[in-house]
Amino acid sequence: MNKLFISPSPHMYEDTTVKRLMFDVVIAMLPALAFSIYFFGMGAIIVTLTAVVSCLAFEWLIQKYMLKQEPSITDGSALVTGILLAFNVPTNLPIWIVIIGSLVAIGIGKMSFGGLGNNPFNPALVGRVFMLISFPVQMTSWPVPTGFNNSYTDAVTGATPLGVMKEGIGAGETVSSIMDKIPSHMELFYGHMGGSMGEIAAIALLLGFGYMLFRKVIKMHIPVSILLTITAFTGILWLINPESNADPVFHLLTGGVMLGAIFMATDYVTSPMSVKGMWIYGIGIGIITVLIRVFGAYPEGVSFAILIMNAFVPLINAYIKPKRFGEEVKNG
Amino acid sequence: MLKTFPKGGVHPAESKYSANSVIEILPLPKTVSIPISQHIGAPSKAIVAKGDKVRVGDKIAESTGFVSTNIHSSVSGTVVKVDDVLDSTGYKRPCVIIDVEGDEWNENIDRSTDLKKEISLTDKEIINKINESGIVGLGGATFPSHVKLSVPDGKKIDVLIINGVECEPYLTSDHRLMLEKAEEMLVGIQILMKALSVNLALIGIENNKPDAIAHLQDLVKSYPGIEVHALKVQYPQGGEKQLIKALINREVPSGGLPLNVGAVVHNVGTAFAVYEAVQKNKPLFERVVTLTGISVKKPSNFMVRIGTPVIDLVEAAGGLPEDTGKIINGGPMMGKSINSLEVPVVKGTSGILIMPVEKSARKKESGCIRCAKCVSVCPQGLEPYLLNRLAQLEKNDKLETGGVMDCIECGSCAYTCPAGLPLLDYIRLGKSRVSKIIRTRKQ
Amino acid sequence: MSATILFTIISLSAIGATAAIILYFVAQKFKVYEDPRIDQVEEILPAANCGGCGYPGCRGFAEALVKADDLSPFFCPVGGNETMAKAADILGKAVEAKDPLVAVIRCSGSPIHRTRVNKYDGASSCAISSSLYSGETGCQYGCLGLGDCVDVCDFDAIYMDEETGLPVVIDDKCTACGACVKACPNIIIELRKKNKKDRKIFVSCVNKDKGGVAKKACAVACIGCGKCVKVCPYDAITLENFLAYIDPNKCKLCRKCVIECPTSAILEINFPERKAKEETADEDSKTQVKETNARPAGEKENDIK
């Protein structure tokens, strides 16, 4: 007879593993990746490959030679970070900037805190914000989505709808006149606009959201609360003065709202643990995003909003607890 | 919509291989070793000595307090010794070892199989009888049943809940009992209702046992006050607190007992044992045990005398499979793994589960990714990831405020953890440390 | 431009000065008197904060020492007699020297001697394993090998020997703080007197089973035969529950029991190697000072076979 295994209960396990969860996220990102390649061509492929390869390489090197631990790049988390990082940059970004961004994302954003599970901030966003502040020119020259023939090095660049809107309102134009200069809502929905690589096609991101919900990778609370908050907040502003404030649908479909709400804010490590906490976190991201967009200096604020709320997550976890069974009765 | 408890829970593969195996009576073993403490509470005291002759149903160990119980011989024969024997945990526990000779029963036991419906005893007499017959909760917790029936003054019980959920995967002993001994069980429920003086009894059964639900629904028409409720399949619905919440939507307060919300929960097996004890004068010395597993040749349900070594059950079910990697006393979620087939069946043994090697080892551990799956599956609304960490760091005060004592050890958190962390292992350790601290504080 | 800089400097200095003044008065207002000797005593303590003295950290111990009238119940296991003497000097109190202690592991059940009969697959913690069941071997008393003692040691004085699966104490680093003694659920670790040259003789077994059962589970178990009790000239050995125990205060390190023990459960550590057999053994043979860190010569080879 074999030696019997002895262990405390339970003796059954769900077949979910960290690896499976991460690869489900990757699958969920594929539609968005496909749309980007369709609109931006080679640039999307080059930037994605660079980001993924350098994220994996940096993680492996840091674990192997600096932390002297068993490299765990096969768990897929560095792959997810790499793709997300690529999703957050323009497709004509020079390779060397992408590599530096990956180093910051993995090295500073993740490994310096002790690797997967210990980082307080979303690594891809740390990388993105680092690049945005260090290389503002390259990071805000968005290629125009001309289709797959779009070349990588000398793409025609233009402003994002959000940038046009911000500039227009700043110059005293009315929203309705600005609206003529930017694509229609339908075009925005399937992503025919300038912007960061993965954020353009709302339809592809929603497909990914559906897949992740179906596979029970994430819960719906964070994305739904962010989207609802942004809709409500911008809706109120729009109702007050529709000529100086864009409508909520425009806000939802442009910039990084969809990408941020579905893929960035839902990062396990940096989001709250309880359902109540998730609502607070989502509402916070929504409010800060709109504040930055409407009242701030930057046209886009999703990544800052997520990073700011990331910082609040430990506090939320410490004070917002799930409702205990039998608790109400005891107090009441 | 079927009823269930609202928060948390998981749904492991049901794997009820033995659901269609009729309860077989296991042949008498050669020797039995009957532990003299098979329940929660004060250990009993052996009242037989080496060389004594005993008959089936004779008392061999005596209750030593209110929360304690009698133990009866399950066979007739000679007491070989009263000594410490290794039990399923590998530690020594005092046992009465009896060599089986024939099958002579105590003359007071009514061995006929006719159904006896009239309840002649009063409520006090019923509770005494149950105490005398050594009946404990047969769902696995083995809490002496008479304690649950003795309602303290000032508390009002208005509903009796009968647990026929059997939410543990693989196990089918309660399921078969509900199909084959339904009438006896219903009379048993009536006896319990009389003992508690309640007019309502609810039987909760998970929806994966439609035959049992239909059968009982048909029968309860002639038993006023008893209702059968189908429940959505959801682990750990068999937990007392979860079952009460699912059936009557009352929440047992944290640290409280079901009687704080006017309910008492008994298992279907207990109801059957109560029937036999009260109507047939038969103390608790045998029970239904499921023997099952993926590679077991003949997954079965056996009526087993207490004290029978597990090996006898395994042999009767077609022998130990070649690929055995783990043997579990109980279900896969809350059962205990055992390291020898010589250990005896006790009152709390609801099943023996044999796991093949490839399903025996735990998942490989990796770091916590804070996915919050443990939080969302915890039926008690706790934060297992946090309790796990606090227990590792021995932060006992924080564990206590974190509600570690509310943990029902259902294992949902460890079941669902994608990182394969031994969450429940550490939480259980923390819980035992904290409960020690609470006990010393009370003194 | 220069106006801006000037203004910045002036305003920052003003804020700093105001804050300093406020802080000074607040500090004066809330000043708490503390016996200066507490600081002095804490200064000479080892600052290990191990809790081996029974107080929460070195400062807690220092406070207790200052308050106490009699120092005899106190002892800093890390600093030892020297530290206690210094503390007594500062406080003007007397202190007696205590024997230095060291932790010993009373189990030799390596896989060669003690076969594993099942495989533990739970969380890697002795406390969890022992609350679950008796362990991977037939011996329910012995070392579980999951390293709780290693985890609690603040001084890196214990490590797990990968070959034997047993913890090993590094005597030079061990401060006898007692953390491992408390952590071990099977109470295998004992603090024993540190003799001259760190020589030790002890029964390396805690099995309370009858001889046959113990021997079956582990080849080097104490079987409770009592031979050591008979041979001991100093009445240092007692036998209880089939288990011998050598009283460190009575033992004179004569090594007679080591030779007598049929299962080599009694270990002699840091003794010079025996010249020949019994007769010469108890003579102080200063030749061949080779540390034999276990059972009598020749035994080890047999075991491996």
Question: If DSSP states are collapsed to H, E and C, what string results for B301-349?
Answer: EEEEECCCEHHHHHHHCCCCCCCEEEEEECCCCCCEEECCCCCECCCCC
Tokens encoding C29: 């207002």
The total number of residues shown for chain B amounts to 443
Query: Which of B330, B381, B418 has its CB closest to that of A324?
Result: B381
Q: If we measure between CA atoms, which residue out of B245, B251, B211 comes closest to residue B228?
A: B211
Question: Is there a contact between A6 and C121 if contact means CB atoms under 8 Å apart?
Answer: yes
C142, C65: one domain: no
Phi–psi pair at A121, nearest 5 degrees = -115, 150
C178 located within any domain: yes
CA–CA separation, C242 and C214 (whole Å): 9
Question: Is there a contact between A77 and B369 if contact means CB atoms under 8 Å apart?
Answer: yes
Exposure string (b/e) for C192-227, b if CB count within 10 Å is 16 or more? Answer: bebbeeeebbbbbbbbebebebbbebbbbbbbbbeb
Torsion A95-A101-A104-A107 (CA) sign = negative
Phi–psi pair at B336, nearest 5 degrees = -110, 135
Tokens encoding A211: 């897949």
Chain C residues closer than 8 Å to A7 by CB: 120-122, 132
Q: Give how far the C-alpha of residue A273 lies from the chain's centroid of Cα atoms, to the nearest Å.
A: 18
C253, C111: one domain: yes
Question: Is there a contact between A5 and B369 if contact means CB atoms under 8 Å apart?
Answer: no
C128, C70: one domain: no
CA distance A265 to chain B (A): 13
C133 located within any domain: yes
Q: Is the pLDDT of residue C56 over 70?
A: yes
If you average pLDDT over residues B21-41, what whole number do you get?
90
Total of domains in chain C? 2
If you average pLDDT over residues A258-284, what whole number do you get?
94
Give residue C73's pLDDT band: very low, low, confident or very high (50, 70, 90).
confident
Subunits with 3+ C-beta pairs closer than 8 A to B: A, C
Give the Cβ contact number of residue C267 at 10 Å: 24
Residue C78's pLDDT is what?
Answer: 83
3-state secondary structure of C157: coil
Q: If we measure between CA atoms, which residue out of A119, A19, A274 comes closest to residue B373?
A: A274
C137, C217: one domain: yes
Tell me which chain A residue has its CA closest to the CA of residue C136. Answer: A6
Which of A13, A73, A320 to probe by mutation at the B interface, max B CB count within 10 Å? Answer: A13
Chain C residues closer than 8 Å to B88 by CB: 133
CATH number, domain containing residue C62: 1.10.15.40
CA distance C91 to chain B (A): 35
Tokens encoding C246: 């050598």
Q: Which domain holds residue C48?
A: 37-91
Tokens encoding A283: 């509402």
Side-chain-side CA neighbours of B414 within 13 Å: the count stands at: 30
C132, C173: one domain: yes
C45, C133: one domain: no
C196 located within any domain: yes
Chain C residues closer than 8 Å to B361 by CB: 121
Q: How far, CA to CA in Å, does A109 sit from each of A101, A112, A207, B357, C239?
A: 10, 7, 28, 41, 62
Q: Is the pLDDT of residue A75 over 60?
A: yes
Query: Which of B88, B89, B362 has its CB closest to that of C121?
Result: B362
C173, C71: one domain: no
C231, C124: one domain: yes
Which of C121, C130, C141, C151 to probe by mutation at the B interface, max B CB count within 10 Å? Answer: C121
If you average pLDDT over residues B31-55, what whole number do you get?
89
Subunits with 3+ C-beta pairs closer than 8 A to C: A, B
CA–CA separation, B397 and B401 (whole Å): 6
β-sheet bridge partners, residue B85: B93
C172 located within any domain: yes
Q: How much is the pTM?
A: 0.87
B76 Cβ contact partners less than 8 Å away, ≥ 6 residues apart: B53, B54, B55, B56, B100, B101, B102, B103, B104, B105
* Residue of higher predicted confidence among A220 and C93: A220
C111, C220: one domain: yes
- Quote the ipTM score: 0.88
CA–CA separation, A11 and B363 (whole Å): 10
C212 located within any domain: yes
Chain A residues closer than 8 Å to C117 by CB: 3
C192 located within any domain: yes
C115 located within any domain: yes
Query: Which of A115, A322, A327 has its CB closest to that of B375?
Result: A322
Instruction: Outline where DSSP puts E strands in chain C.
Output: 101-105, 118-120, 158-161, 166-169, 189-193, 200-203, 237-240, 243-246, 266-269
Tokens encoding C91: 């406080």
What angle do helix axes B268-280 and B123-132 make, rounded to 10 degrees?
A: 100
CA–CA separation, C296 and C298 (whole Å): 6
Query: Which of C118, C123, C128 has its CB closest to that of A3?
Result: C118
Q: If we measure between CA atoms, which residue out of A323, A276, A282 comes closest to residue A305?
A: A282
Give residue A153's pLDDT band: very low, low, confident or very high (50, 70, 90).
low
CA–CA separation, A81 and A110 (whole Å): 10
C61, C161: one domain: no
C111, C254: one domain: yes
Instruction: Outline where DSSP puts E strands in B196-309.
Output: 201-206, 226-231, 263-267, 286-293, 300-305
CA distance B181 to chain A (A): 30
Query: Which of A6, A13, A326 has its CB closest to that of B415?
Result: A13
CA distance B125 to chain C (A): 39
Task: Tell me the per-residue pLDDT of C140-198, one tens digit each, with 9 for 90 and over.
Answer: 899 999 999 999 988 889 999 988 889 999 988 888 888 899 999 999 999 988 888 88
Residue-averaged pLDDT of chain B: 91
C177 located within any domain: yes
CATH number, domain containing residue C135: 3.30.70.20
Query: Which of A6, A219, A272 has its CB closest to that of B339?
Result: A6
Residue C278's pLDDT is what?
Answer: 47
Q: Is the pLDDT of residue C45 over 80?
A: yes
β-sheet bridge partners, residue C243: C240
Q: Are C238 and C244 in contact (CB under 8 A)?
A: yes
Which of B326, B339, B341, B428 to probe by mutation at the C interface, max C CB count within 10 Å? Answer: B339
C206, C67: one domain: no
Q: Give kind and range of the element (H or E) at residue B152.
A: none
